[in-house]
Amino acid sequence: MSTMSLDVGALLLQTVPFARTLGITFDSVGDGQAVSRLPDRQDLHNHVSGPHAGALFTLAESASGAAMLSALGDQLERAVPLAVSARVEYRKLAMGEVHAEARLLVAREEVVAKLDAGERPVFDVAVDIKNADGAVVSTLTVTWTLRPNRPAA
């Protein structure tokens, strides 16, 4: 995996203001994995007093981006990461503070090889969202691509 000197969680929160607005924080980021946390705030609740689905999605998508960047962030000079699609399953009612555990489902070397070959890699990051008691309340698969930078004209 890539070794990077930058703080991926801080970079993500700096470049994605909405994640900051929700109060998302990162417990750990590295080696194609990330754990992010969403506080239990009344203003983020839905009609059944749990975190709103949109807040849960943002938590998971942010964790997926951090996991991806922890493995591939050194490729940012030549490619832009973009979320292509996401599939979400809400399994049970989330209550209280929740956290997301994300993991890259492809080898870093495979993605870099596609970039080296002039291709646009597409790959998945799996995310589990859990309540404080560890119960999985939602799962997501976020599909990412690294769009190669266009040459300067």
CATH code at position 102:
3.10.129.10
Specify if 55 maps to a domain. yes
Specify if 75 maps to a domain. yes
C-alpha closest to that of 68 among 14, 121, 21: 121
106-133 residue pLDDT tens: 999 999 999 999 999 999 999 999 999 9
Confidence of residue 153 (pLDDT cuts 50, 70, 90): low
Specify if 153 maps to a domain. no
What pLDDT is stored for residue 80 in this prediction? 95
Mean pLDDT calculated for residue range 77-81: 95
What pLDDT is stored for residue 12 in this prediction? 84
The token duo for 132 is: 């404080």
Specify if 1 maps to a domain. no
Q: What is the distance between the alpha carbons of residues 7 and 114, in angstroms, rounded to a whole number?
A: 26
Specify if 3 maps to a domain. no
**Does 2 score more than 50 pLDDT?**
no
Give the count of domains, the chain. Answer: 1
pTM beyond 0.95:
no
18-38 residue pLDDT tens: 999 999 999 999 999 999 999
Specify if 82 maps to a domain. yes
Confidence of residue 17 (pLDDT cuts 50, 70, 90): confident
**Does 5 score more than 90 pLDDT?**
no
Confidence of residue 4 (pLDDT cuts 50, 70, 90): very low
Cβ of 95: how many Cβ atoms within 10 Å?
A: 17
**What single letter denotes the amino acid at residue 121?**
P
Q: What is the distance between the alpha carbons of residues 72 and 103, in angstroms, rounded to a whole number?
A: 13
**Does 3 score more than 90 pLDDT?**
no
Residue 90 structural domain: 8-148
HEC states along the chain?
Answer: CCCCCCCHHHHHHHHCHHHHHHCCEEEEEECCEEEEEECCCHHHECCCCCECHHHHHHHHHHHHHHHHHHHHHHHCCCEEEEEEEEEEEECCCCCCCEEEEEEECCCHHHHHHHHHCCCCCEEEEEEEEEECCCCEEEEEEEEEEEEECCCCC
**Which residues make Cβ contacts (< 8 Å) with residue 16, sequence separation at least 6?**
62, 65
**Does 71 score more than 50 pLDDT?**
yes
